[in-house]
Amino acid sequence: MRKPILAGNWKMYKNTQEAKALVEGLASRVGKLSDREVVVCPPFTSLAIAAESMKGSNLKLGAQNMYWEDKGAFTGEIAPGMLRDTGCTYVIIGHSERRQYFGETDATVNKKMKKAFLSGLLPIVCIGETLAERESSETFTVLERQIREGASGLSAEEARKLVVAYEPVWAIGTGKTATPQQAEEAHKFIRQKLAEIYAPAVAEEIRILYGGSVKPENSKELMGQADIDGALVGGASLEPESFSKIVTFDL
């Protein structure tokens, strides 16, 4: 049984006081759940206060990015050890906005993913096709490349703990959600590829999250699909009310 993960990607929103209020609002609503993991991923500047505010709850902390070196002259970057030190369990790697605006590639995603494991962080590796790629029937080719180049090279022990987020780029922040059938088709394909790279038993344990305009109104149906093991939520994770409803999709 794969334990569902509901993760909130706050992107570049929430200063420290707003982060405190949001985490407290979540802790009081969904902070005691233990049959699913509830993860919040604030901007770097709000990680510490989020960690403090979630103490005593089951909420978990994640970062939105990291660099693959431990330390050094890398102005503006954040090391994995710094994230661990601040209380992070998870780190999002290769979000499509990082790929689109900050030049991340499958090769950098792979370096970061491996380094995250070595540093004791669990990576949430994002993949997904653009609208142009979907319209030219390249979805599966793109997904296969992103998985083979971005998410390979782990030991079986590490791979079991990998989290993949399928986020069709055309569904992010657009209000256009993939239908549950479209999402399930992609998730099933991703699991098949993971089975080829690692082993079927390993792939069965890997959690694959859906992301892209997840809202309280569509979360139940999406989460009900066989190969969808949770969600990576942007916009709807910025308010305690809406994110809590997504977290409790089946309750």
Which residues are catalytically annotated?
95, 167
Q: How far is the CB of 69 from ligand PGA (least distance, A)?
A: 25
42 belongs to the binding site for ligand PGA (CB under 6 A): no
The one-letter code for the residue type at 53 is S
Closer to ligand PGA by CB, 79 or 92: give it.
92
4 belongs to the binding site for ligand PGA (CB under 6 A): no
Residue 152 exposure: Cα atoms within 13 Å on the Cβ side: 17
Q: How far is the CB of 105 from ligand PGA (least distance, A)?
A: 18
Q: Are 162 and 127 in contact (CB under 8 A)?
A: no
172 belongs to the binding site for ligand PGA (CB under 6 A): yes
CA–CA distance, 93 with 104 (Å, rounded to integer)? 9
Which of 186, 235, 245, 249 lies at the binding interface for ligand PGA (CB under 6 A)? 235
DSSP state at residue 31: T
233 belongs to the binding site for ligand PGA (CB under 6 A): yes
Which of 4, 5, 6, 9 lies at the binding interface for ligand PGA (CB under 6 A)? 9
Q: Are 36 and 26 in contact (CB under 8 A)?
A: no
Closer to ligand PGA by CB, 129 or 167: give it.
167
Contacts of 214 (CB under 8 A, 6+ apart): 177, 222, 231, 232, 233, 236, 246
Q: How far is the CB of 249 from ligand PGA (least distance, A)?
A: 14
Which of 232, 243, 244, 245 lies at the binding interface for ligand PGA (CB under 6 A)? 232
41 belongs to the binding site for ligand PGA (CB under 6 A): no
Which of 212, 230, 242, 247 lies at the binding interface for ligand PGA (CB under 6 A)? 212
Give residue for tokens 């989290």: 163
SS3 176: coil
Contacts of 39 (CB under 8 A, 6+ apart): 5, 6, 7, 8, 59, 60, 61, 62, 89, 90
Which of 104, 106, 158, 167 lies at the binding interface for ligand PGA (CB under 6 A)? 167
Which stretch in 110-118, 128-136, 191-199, 234-242 sits in contact with ligand PGA by CB under 6 A? 234-242
* Nearest by Cα to 108 from 119, 123, 89, 122: 123
213 belongs to the binding site for ligand PGA (CB under 6 A): yes
* Nearest by Cα to 39 from 49, 54, 21: 54
- Which spans of this chain sit near ligand PGA (rule: CB under 6 A)? 9, 167, 172-173, 211-214, 232-236
